[in-house]
Amino acid sequence: MPNGILIIDKPAGWTSMDVCAKIRGILHEKRVGHGGTLDPMATGVLPVFVGQATRAVEFAENSRKEYVAGLRLGQVTDTQDVTGQTLETHPVTASRKDVEAAMARFLGPIQQVPPMYSAVKINGQKLYDLARRGKEVARKPRDITIYELELLEQVSETDYLLRCVCSKGTYIRTLCHDMGQALGCGGTLYSLRRTMAAGYRLDRAVTLENVQEKGESLLLPTDTLFAQYPAYTVPSAGKENRVRNGGAVTDNSLADGTYRVYGRNGDFLCLSRAEHGTLTSIKNFFGA
């Protein structure tokens, strides 16, 4: 059965779940999940986890992500992007320097109010379901972090391309909306391409057509998600057996930290944490 990670270059017009459904059909595997939702209008890096690799989805969802976003000043929409209904238009007098100054205000840890057109739930109801019924409810701001925010290009008097590296839970639509508010003319998102997620960049991405043609040969091993951590191979059959049964092992040569743990035959077994010479599994990746 297929196991591993596909880095899909999501096409515009598809939901993230559409992509997963397509891959289920191509690979004939029910266990398929993605590592971070992209709106239908967005394109770019969508890590898709297949088979046993679905156990790693939570680690991808919590990772930093990078986007190239199109900010359009002078327009406000109900969805905070150009797919929605225009609510306001304003003349734009902001200069490139004004935009750069506004960007600086959004760097670092900030709070962001989730948009009404989002999958966030309040009292068991998704916000976008309420929004489609014409309702708006109060939303609590959430803590996010903008690690990097760079102005790549001024496309026109109203349009700018931005590069943003951000934490889980960041809405780039809302960032554009809030920047427009800060500049006094309103703003909306007119394009969005994710260029990095879970450490995977666009140069590793494949299309759905590629997957249709080449199938599971395009799957990356699950342990590539954890390439930033050092590898540790269990040195004996006894210790490997303990790991495979969920037990901790002792190795006083290990510095404290997180490790990719492998069996003696090279199988990726688990992600583990070493503390004071004791190695304990965080998540196992062996078995059916």
In the set 39, 81, 178, 223, the catalytic residue is 39
d(Cα 221, Cα 31) in Å, to the nearest integer? Answer: 16
Helix axes 172-183, 96-104, angle to 10 degrees: 120
Burial 8-42 (b: 16+ CB within 10 A, else e): bbbbeebebeebbebbeebbebebbbbbbebbebb
Contact indicator for 170, 39 with CB cutoff of 8 Å: no
Handedness of CA 116, 119, 124, 125 (dihedral sign): positive
User: Can 78 be counted among the known catalytic residues?
Assistant: no
d(Cα 27, Cα 9) in Å, to the nearest integer? Answer: 17
The one-letter amino acid at 126: K
The tokens describing 221, both together, are 């091993």
How large is the greatest C-alpha to C-alpha distance in the chain, in angstroms?
72
The tokens describing 77, both together, are 């929409």
Active site residues: 39
